[in-house]
């Protein structure tokens, strides 16, 4: 059963807001589903003190979404969760005023420390005094691309933080908000070449690079995939490839990694489910790579690769 709570405002409401609590490992899948449904007014509320669940907010025009359409949307979320053998608690529908949707989701955002030295900071907040010594990554997560809350993103940031890419040239495949590219630059990378097949992600990367005062000569972004990296990268090739994408897409991109990476370069793969580790290990072993390290967080995994030169 779907729980519906209608909160009538003093003025005539014009938006419906869906509030759905969910397990954090569903974030990427929910983002994919909503993008496929052409729904763009949504956000994820993440409490840094809660590593297990967060809340999805979706804003929909009231006059365009019938009860039937609302139920279909909720059932789509439920069905997607079931593919991960997860169940969703009842959702809520709330009517909100026109001016509310674009601002109300910001209220619950908090500064989010990751690793030893990184702080993800919503662009509209001041730096808390206790985090002044950290490297600040300012984000406007309005488009919900890569806010740092998902375990796979946190694994990548922690990997960069533990082994800073000082002086390195980075390729960021599926850059989303640009969060990994920006983090790499803040940790000393020389330059990044960031691509995404979603034009909205490229816009988000541009916005966030400006928020962090990064020059375009350092953070280069292109609409497309690995072929754009190959066409635009420097002659000395890439030192580190970041690929925080779901496993099926990683397998499609994998054969192209050798075209862009230097002989001593490394690849950081994330977006993998723990049960996919063995499959990906075997896949890249056949392509001539060796696995240097595997890290896990909740149900998600990160894998570090290097070319097998022996």
Please provide residue 121's backbone torsions phi and psi, each rounded to the nearest 5 degrees. Answer: -125, 115
Predicted confidence pLDDT, tens digits, the chain (310 residues) = 333 333 434 445 588 889 999 988 788 788 778 877 878 778 777 776 777 788 888 888 888 899 999 999 999 999 999 988 899 999 999 888 765 555 666 666 789 999 999 999 988 899 999 999 999 999 986 555 567 777 888 999 999 999 999 999 999 999 988 999 999 999 999 999 999 988 878 888 999 999 999 987 899 999 999 999 999 988 889 999 999 988 889 999 999 999 999 999 999 999 888 989 999 999 999 999 999 999 998 778 999 999 998 7
Domains and CATH numbers, the chain: 15-107 (3.30.70.120), 150-307 (3.40.50.150)
The whole-angstrom separation of Cα 74 and Cα 80 is 10
Q: Which two tokens stand for residue 51?
A: 């590593």
The per-residue pLDDT for 142 is 58
Q: What is the pTM of this model?
A: 0.76
The per-residue pLDDT for 137 is 96
What is the rounded (10 degree) CA torsion for 83, 172, 174, 50? 50
Q: Residue 75 is inside which H or E element, if any?
A: helix 67-83
The per-residue pLDDT for 61 is 86
Paired residues of 169 in beta bridges: 191
Nearest to 96 by CA among 22, 180, 167, 6: 6
The per-residue pLDDT for 12 is 56
Check residue 245 and report its DSSP letter.
S
The per-residue pLDDT for 1 is 33
Instruction: Kindly provide the b/e burial profile for residues 127-158, where b requires at least 16 CB atoms within 10 angstroms of the residue's own CB.
Output: eeeeeeebbbbbbebbbbbbbbbbbbbbbbbb
What is the rounded (10 degree) CA torsion for 163, 178, 302, 23? 130
How is 142-170 classified by DSSP, letter by letter?
GG-S--S-SHHHHHHHHHHHHS--TT-EE
The whole-angstrom separation of Cα 1 and Cα 71 is 10
């Amino acid at each position: 059963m779907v729980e519906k709570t209608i909160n009538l405002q003093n003025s005539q409401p014009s938006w419906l807001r869906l509030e759905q609590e969910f397990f954090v490992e569903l974030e990427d899948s929910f983002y994919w589903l909503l993008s496929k449904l052409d729904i763009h007014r949504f956000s994820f509320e993440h409490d840094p003190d809660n590593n297990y669940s967060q809340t999805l907010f979706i804003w929909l025009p009231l006059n365009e979404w019938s009860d039937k359409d609302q139920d279909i949307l909720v059932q789509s979320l439920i069905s997607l969760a079931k593919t991960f053998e997860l169940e969703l608690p009842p959702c809520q529908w709330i009517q909100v005023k026109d001016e509310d949707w674009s601002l109300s989701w910001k209220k619950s955002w908090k500064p989010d420390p990751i690793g030893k030295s990184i702080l993800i900071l919503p662009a509209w907040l001041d730096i808390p005094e206790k985090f002044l010594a950290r490297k600040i990554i300012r984000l406007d997560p309005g488009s919900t691309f890569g806010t740092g809350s998902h375990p796979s993103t946190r694994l990548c940031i922690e990997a960069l933080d533990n082994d800073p890419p000082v002086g390195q040239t980075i390729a960021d495949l599926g850059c989303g908000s640009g969060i990994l590219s920006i983090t790499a630059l803040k940790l000393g990378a020389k330059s990044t070449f960031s691509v995404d097949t979603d034009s909205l992600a490229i816009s988000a990367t541009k916005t966030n690079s400006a928020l962090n005062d990064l020059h375009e000569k350092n953070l280069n972004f292109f609409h497309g995939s690995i072929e754009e990296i190959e066409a635009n990268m420097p002659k000395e090739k890439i030192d580190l490839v970041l690929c925080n994408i779901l496993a099926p897409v990683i397998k499609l991109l994998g054969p192209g990694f050798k075209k862009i990476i230097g002989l001593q370069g490394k690849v950081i793969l994330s977006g993998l489910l723990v049960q996919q580790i063995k499959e990906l290990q075997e896949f890249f072993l056949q392509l001539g790579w060796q696995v240097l390290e595997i890290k896990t967080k909740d149900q998600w995994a990160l894998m570090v690769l290097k070319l097998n030169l022996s």
